[in-house]
Amino acid sequence: MGAVLLLVVVVMAFVGCRALLDLSGTTQVKGVWMGSTTLPCTYTPSQGFTQQTLTWSLERDLSTSTIFRRDSSGDHILLSRFRNRVSVPKGSPGDASLHITDLEIPDSGHYTCQVIWRSENYSLITKEVTTIVKVAKVDVTKPIIVAGELGLVVPAGAKASLTCVAQGSPPISYRWFRVAPGRNGQILGSEAELVWNSLQPSDAGMYYCEVQNRVNTGLVRRSDTVELTVRDPSVTTEAHCPVTGQQGAICGQDLPEAAVTSENAVGYPETDETTQSSRRTHRYLVILIAVLGGAVVFLVIFAIACARKSKNEHIYEVTFHSTADVIRPDTDVEVPVKCRKEKINSETEESYENVTMTCNNYASMTGNSYESVCLSKNAESETLVNAMESEYEIQNFQ
């Protein structure tokens, strides 16, 4: 029973050690012609096991060649065309990755990483992992311009830089240009980075870069144009700040030059947002007061006009009386009314007598009878009679 248990422990320890010593890598890597790449090969070191040898080999065109070998005697590059182009990290236990520079098209193939460990009882354990490498020529991409720490708005006298960044098969050539109005760009340099140790106002302007590589010699990639602004530090100093104690708000060093503008041709500083808001509020209050004042004046004038109109107006009551009411005795009618009725009746009787005399004279002159002339009805006589049959009584009330 004890022998079986010991055997199980030994087998488990052996399996566990083999699991810890497994190599890990990747199946495929794409390399860029004239670029560099790293083929990963790592493992977890285990106590009681020492790395004996490390070998990197290349299989291409049905032949296998050893590129790199590391043993107790040191590192050895066994394939001449990889000399000074390959390396493996030192001082990093468990890292056996292969780094290749200046990739060539013939570098494509199957790379195998093999590691041999020696245990304490001098037994050997071998592990390997294979990676496929494909090297291709890649055209250079469109470059982009990356500004330095201070950005594209830099105070005069400071250090500034612009970097042209592009991807593709190296070597990549760079050219910097400054846009000049009315003419072609002015060449400034042939490095990836354009640097000013002490930026001057004359350095402000529009810049762009061009890149090219050996893949397609006729292809030139151009970046977008960027504008470099040089800020005058004297504009933002407290000595030139027209508002005392507000250096951070109006004349602060952190604000760009565009933050300090002129309100008119004289050059007075523009008020800040709080002042402008206060002015707008005051303007609205003035308009509101003016509108309310106008409304009050209108109401006063309207009230005065209404009062005057009420004094001048009189209320009249009209009473209609028929002829029958005049003839019928009415004890309730006041004496002045009866007097007016008698006067109207007397005037009516006189008018009737005059009309009768006129009719008689006209009948004798024309030879007609009295009935045909004086008793004939017409519209005018009927209107006159109807008017006399009614009377109006108007009373004025204050």
**pLDDT for 254-283, tens place per residue?**
444 433 333 333 333 444 455 566 777 878
DSSP string, 37-72: EEE-EE----TTEEEEEEEEEEEETTEEEEEEEEET
CA distances from 180 to 152, 200, 226 (A): 18, 17, 13
Residue 79: DSSP 8-state: S
> Cβ distance 56 to 117 under 8 Å?
no
C-alpha–C-alpha distance, residues 310 and 70, integer Å: 124
If you average pLDDT over residues 369-391, what whole number do you get? 51
Percent of the chain's residues with pLDDT above 70: 61
* Main-chain phi, psi angles of 315, to 5 degrees: -100, 125
Between 139 and 262, where is the model more confident?
A: 139
CA distances from 254 to 132, 205, 234, 269, 382 (A): 53, 21, 13, 17, 107
14-28, 225-239, 342-356: least confidently modelled range: 342-356
Mean predicted lDDT score pLDDT of the chain:
74
C-alpha–C-alpha distance, residues 228 and 150, integer Å: 11
Per-residue model confidence (pLDDT) at position 368: 53
Q: pLDDT band for 382, please (50, 70, 90 cuts).
A: low
Q: pLDDT band for 226, please (50, 70, 90 cuts).
A: very high
Over 80: is that where the pLDDT of 222 sits? yes
Domains of the chain as residue ranges with CATH: 22-136 (2.60.40.10), 144-233 (2.60.40.10), 319-397 (no CATH)
**By three-state DSSP, how is residue 392 classified?**
strand
Per-residue model confidence (pLDDT) at position 2: 53
